[in-house]
Amino acid sequence: MSTTATKLNMRPLGDRVILKPLPTEERTRGGVILPDTAKEKPQQGEVCAIGAGRVLENGDKVPMEVKVGDRVLYGKYSGQEVKIEGDEYLIVKESDILGILG
């Protein structure tokens, strides 16, 4: 598992997570090179930063299940795309993350 070399100057709030989308395949199984317009949105990313966790109505804090460096699978149209220090990131709620890749 690799960690992101860039140290972010941003920390998400609550149960939000900052992801670095992993690149998608540029070729099909048959070897055809896909142009940028034909590529699907990535659904895998690496966790770069996490918030403190969700706060329940009674004041208890639920800790985050993901940690920095985890590779995760997230919903195709989840989150908000942002550009931080010239790099593309995705800010999602922890509930938008479908699973942690092994």
Report pLDDT digits (tens) over 33-73.
Answer: 655 554 556 689 999 999 999 999 999 999 999 999 999 99
Is residue 20 situated within a structural domain? Answer: yes
Residue with tokens 């149209």: 77
Residue ranges making up the domain that contains 56: 16-101
Contact 71, 46 (CB under 8 A): yes
What's the pLDDT at 65?
A: 95
- Computed over its alpha carbons, how large is the radius of gyration of the chain? 15
Q: Which of 63, 69, 41, 33 is nearest to 51 (CA)?
A: 63
Give the CATH number for residue 34: 2.30.33.40
What's the pLDDT at 9?
A: 83
- Top-confidence residue, 23 or 10: 10
Is residue 72 situated within a structural domain? Answer: yes
Is residue 80 situated within a structural domain? Answer: yes
Total tally of structural domains belonging to the chain? 1
What's the pLDDT at 3?
A: 39
